[in-house]
Amino acid sequence: MKRRPPAFALSVAIAFAFAALPAAGEDLLQVYREAQRNDPAIAAAKAGWDATQERAPQARAGLLPNVSASGNANLTNFDATIKSDPQVDINRNFHQYTAAISASQPLFRYQNFILYDQAKQQVTQADDVLNVAQQDLIIRVAVTYFDILLAQFNIELTESQKKAVVEQLAQAKRNFEVGVATITDTNEAQAKYDAIVAQEIATRNEYDNRVTALRAIIGRYPKELKKLGPGFQPGPPEPNAADYWVDRALKENLNVRIAEANLEIAKLEVDRARGGHYPTLDLVGSYTAQGSNAAVTSSIASDQRIGTIGLQLAVPIYQGGFVDSRVREAIALLEKSRQDLEGARRGALFQAQTGFSGVASAAASVRAFEQAVVSAQSALASNILGQEVGVRTFLDVLNVQQNVYSTRRDLAQAYFAYLIGQLRLKAAVGTLSDLDLEEINRRLAG
């Protein structure tokens, strides 16, 4: 990129009070890495991804053989008296055992096949769900990081403004004492000073709140954050065409892709519900071994082996209307998924359009406020000179001075809005990644 003339670098340096800084402190990328390790939202998203991966093997189990084994062993005491002539007493202890193994292999279970297809869709969809959480983390970290820097800058501006007003107030008091100025000048300077003190309290409270917000993400209070250095030239989105970003968002936005997957899963759910009317066919087999060393009526030991194999067919005839109800429910949920997809597409279009306009507007605002800072500084110098020759009052100088600080603050806000706008625009088209954060960190961190 072409570099702007020194006036640009000077205005940015003035606007942000970001001179060359030492390597100490945490930069944006370091804070992001910390958030990846400690943010509860991303940890929950990763756990959700892990859980979703298990749906495929669970559904596949419905297509694979099912084998089970059972067994038992009993000790029986048989005690009986037969009242005959002569009387017969029987007292016998004997052991019995049974061991069995059974297996079934589904040959036709339509619902299980559909369930497996749904699980594969959900596993693929889980990647997009996790990516959405990761993109959200990138934006949350960047917004919070820049909010802290902006709050620091506002504190610095307020302190500088208070210092300047203190000097004006002292001068107004001296001039009043020697009779070259009225008490009005002193009162106006005092009023400005009191307002700035109140503003300083508010800006420090805002800084504390923003630091606390970052603590909620990384799990600790951050160290000193690296400030941004001059030398970055905001430009319009590339390519500079709204239709390009809108078209990409409609196709590649992660929320759209998630909604598309939900629609496909809902279609399969309708088929699965209808599968409740279909018969099932399984290949089944079992092998049983049982024996005893005696019996109730005999003292003879026995031992048996039985093996079976065959087909098991089940035909649903009437289930109280349950299947028909499930089909109607699935069809209604399918329509909901269609509407959710349309909502996701419209949301993606809105994000892309506003993201594009936001970046372009912020870039233009930065250029405009750069010039406004220069103009405000010139106006302040002129008013100070006018005050010295008696054509401007203390209030005139204080008002112009206030405009200088307000313009610097506006420039800082526009600059940060541009950076965040770039991230949001890339999120709208589904391409936001760690590399984008690394690029900002590399271009801006000193």
CATH number corresponding to 6-65+108-278+320-444: 1.20.1600.10
Max CA separation in the chain (angstroms): 148
What pLDDT, on the 0 to 100 scale, is given for residue 386? 86
Say which DSSP state 85 is in. Answer: S
Quickly count: other Cβ atoms within 10 Å of residue 8's Cβ.
17
Determine if the peptide bond prior to 239 is cis (ω within 30°): yes
pLDDT along the chain (446 residues), means of 10: 36 41 70 95 97 97 96 84 79 86 96 97 97 97 94 89 79 75 76 87 94 94 82 85 95 96 97 96 96 76 90 94 96 98 97 95 92 90 82 76 87 91 95 92 68
Residues in the chain: 446
pLDDT at 79: 76
pLDDT at 180: 65
pLDDT of residue 261: 97
3-state secondary structure of 229: coil
Please name the amino acid found at residue 187: N
- Rounded Cα distance, 165 and 148, in Å: 25
Distance CA 430, CA 181 (A): 64
**Is the bond preceding 86 in cis, omega lying within 30 degrees of 0?**
yes
Q: What is the pLDDT of residue 4?
A: 38
Q: What is the pTM of this model?
A: 0.83
The model's pLDDT over 287-342, given as tens digits with 9 standing for 90+, comes to 999 988 877 667 777 888 999 999 999 999 999 999 999 999 999 999 999 999 99
| 422's tokens | 């770039």
Q: Which residues are paired to 122 by β-bridges?
A: none
Which positions ≥6 away from 210 have C-beta within 8 Å?
A: 144, 147, 148, 151
Helix (H, G, I), strand (E, B) or coil at 286: strand
Res 3: pLDDT: 37
- Best CA proximity match to 100, nearest among 284, 281, 282: 284
Closest to 211 in 3D by CA, of 439, 441, 26, 393: 26
Q: Residue 397: count other Cβ atoms within 10 Å of its Cβ.
A: 24
Q: What is the pLDDT of residue 444?
A: 63
**CA 409 remoteness from chain centre:** 30
How do residues 34-69 score in pLDDT, each as one tens digit? 999 999 999 999 999 999 999 999 999 999 999 999
List, as one string, the DSSP characters of 71-89.
EEEEEEEEEEEE-SSS-EE
d(CA 439, CA 443): 6
Give the domain ranges of the chain.
6-65+108-278+320-444
The crossing angle, in degrees rounded to 10, of helices 28-38 and 183-218 is: 50
**Distance of alpha carbon 396 from alpha carbon 402, whole angstroms:** 10
Output the six-digit token pair for 69. 């084994």
Tokens in use for 17?
Answer: 């009070």
**Residue whose token pair is 């960190």:** 441
Q: How, if at all, do strands 280-292 and 88-108 pair?
A: antiparallel
String of b and e for 130-148 (b: at least 16 CB within 10 Å)?
bbbbbbbbbbbbbbbbbbb
